[in-house]
Structure 1
Amino acid sequence: MSLKEKRVVVIGGTSGIGLSTAKAFLDESAQVIIASRSSSKLSDAKQTLGGNVETYEIDFRSEEKVADFFNKIGKFDHLVITAGDGAMGHFSELPVADVKEAFDSKFWGQYITVRKALPYLNQEGSITLTSGVYGIRPPKGASTLAAINSAVEGLVRGLAVDLSPVRVNVVSPGIVDTPMYAGMPEEQREEMYSGIAQQLPVARVAQPEDIAQSYVYLAKNGFTTGSVVLIDGGAHLV
């Protein structure tokens, strides 16, 4: 299935996986629209991606703002959501308010976005959400993310049935070298990556480009729906 001239909306397309995904769709000659909460990141992303991308500022936790966004852009073909904040911390110590905030972002943000997108989505198109490997193999301190990721994957299975013939899938990334870890001292970050790489069958951590190709595949393959595409370098095996 060609993506040439198809309109693709990427929520969270300003850095890391989202930015690489927007670029991957542009490489397929798609018309790409990216949306993010940060106007400065949108400006940087537009400069990186070139003039053929549309940008919009949006808080996808707000039903009103999401509805206004889709009303502005009109009809489109594929929706990809890579945005969403998590929360790490031991179950007995992580404040419940932080847990609820994480659900508001990564679960309810994706839920609301899909709900408001439907009137504008081409029935031959697709929706791809994002979960994460912690949904099946959580380390200590990741119980909240495990719950959120599992909830997103359960939602996708239900939506694939409810929204048919629109295809609905989810990408579940493992550890990825993204700006999310930029706040760590470089030496500590590289030490973390090295330690993880030694445990993985692929012997490295992922780059955003590795994950981006999964979103393109799910948009192009017209016979894939209700699927979780796990891109974790084999982390679930060790």
Structure 2
Amino acid sequence: MGPENAYTDRRVLVVGGSSGVGLAAAREFAARGAETVLASRSRDRLEAAAAELAGLPGPVTGLELDIRSDEQVERFAAAAGKFDHVVVSAARTPTGRVDTLPLADAYSAMDSKFWGSYRIARGLGGSISPAGSLTLIAGYLSRRPTRASALQSAINAAIEALVRGLALEYAPLRVNAVSPGLLATPHWDGMAAEDRDRMYQAAADRLPVQRVGHAEDIAQAVLFLAGNGYTTGSTLFVDGGGRIA
């Protein structure tokens, strides 16, 4: 079976699949023939993403889901059916120093990224083929925090620890994490263009690979973890050397 049809007859869920890393991963799965389901809070973004991926070998559909809601995740899990692979990349995570970030924002970040992943694992773990995979997106700040990222560091480290435990609890289902470094994605669109470009350039100057990452870099790692049957309980760092720079 060649790469162009490697996921034919496979069903894949990408939570957060309407933009950024999730959309890039969905594109890779659909390009390889997978029936790909995108889940996101935004109906407009889902429709735009599905239209962008139309014409690929695998069919693409979108379903609304807010992973911050216990009830929505439970309803989604009951109605969505079985999957071969599930990827969770959705998160809204405000950042800032511990002494200045409002507690409500800190709770929201944890609720979205960590508890959102936990809810999906809890609700859909039994709906994933035992021969398949669950992949969570963490972040290299778990190992290399900055002066305003203590919360992000803790959340990402918690996701990596969750993956190791889930790999045992859900075995033989394979559970892994991808931990990206700085990525040029729509996540930063709220910044002024000059500030964003300055941040990207500073990172490129520091990193051994001399560039920032792209969503496609992380999508390739997701596909590796989904396809490698001997990898579980692992965190794959795709950070341009950020942990050592």
Q: TM-score range by the shorter chain?
A: over 0.9
Superposition map of 1:126-165 within 5 A:
126-165=133-172
Percent of aligned positions that are identical: 45
Q: Give the 3-state SS of the residue equivalent to 1:123 in structure 2.
A: strand
* Pair 1:30 & 2:37 matched: no
Aligned letter for 2:126? P
1:45 to 27, 34, 49: 49
| TM-score, normalised with respect to structure 1 | 0.97
Does structure 2 conserve the Cα–Cα contact (< 8 Å) formed by 1:88 and 1:141?
yes
Give the superposition deviation at 1:185. 1.9
Aligned letter for 1:57? E
Aligned to 1:210: 217
When structure 1 is superposed on structure 2, of 95-104 and 145-154 the one drifting more is 95-104
Does structure 2 conserve the Cα–Cα contact (< 8 Å) formed by 1:131 and 1:170?
yes
Whole-Å Cα distance in 1 between the matches of residues 123 and 198 of structure 2? 42
1:183 to 182, 190, 215: 190
Give the superposition deviation at 1:70. 2.4
Superposition map of 1:75-224 within 5 A:
75-224=82-231
Aligned letter for 2:223? V
Q: Deviations over 1:82-106 (max 9, x none)?
A: 0112221111111222111111100
Q: Give the 3-state SS of the residue equivalent to 2:243 in structure 1.
A: helix
Q: Deviations over 1:165-221 (max 9, x none)?
A: 000000000000000111122222112111110000000001111111111111100
Q: Give the 3-state SS of the residue equivalent to 1:122 in structure 2.
A: strand
* Pair 1:9 & 2:10 matched: no
2:241 to 229, 234, 237: 234
Does structure 2 conserve the Cα–Cα contact (< 8 Å) formed by 1:3 and 1:220?
no
Aligned to 1:69: 76
Does structure 2 conserve the Cα–Cα contact (< 8 Å) formed by 1:63 and 1:116?
no
Does structure 2 conserve the Cα–Cα contact (< 8 Å) formed by 1:21 and 1:215?
yes
Give the superposition deviation at 1:78. 0.5
Aligned length, in residue pairs: 238
Q: Deviations over 1:25-79 (max 9, x none)?
A: 1122111000000111101101111162010001111122112212222111001
Q: Give the 3-state SS of the residue equivalent to 1:235 in structure 2.
A: coil
| TM-score, normalised with respect to structure 2 | 0.94
Aligned letter for 1:186? A
When structure 1 is superposed on structure 2, of 117-126 and 169-178 the one drifting more is 117-126
Does structure 2 conserve the Cα–Cα contact (< 8 Å) formed by 1:87 and 1:144?
no
Give the superposition deviation at 1:127. 0.3
Does structure 2 conserve the Cα–Cα contact (< 8 Å) formed by 1:12 and 1:82?
yes
Whole-Å Cα distance in 2 between the matches of residues 170 and 127 of structure 1? 8
Q: Which runs of 5+ in 1 are unaligned?
A: none
Give the superposition deviation at 1:236. 0.6
Whole-Å Cα distance in 1 between the matches of residues 183 and 138 of structure 2? 13
Q: RMSD of the alignment, in Å?
A: 1.2
Aligned letter for 2:82? K
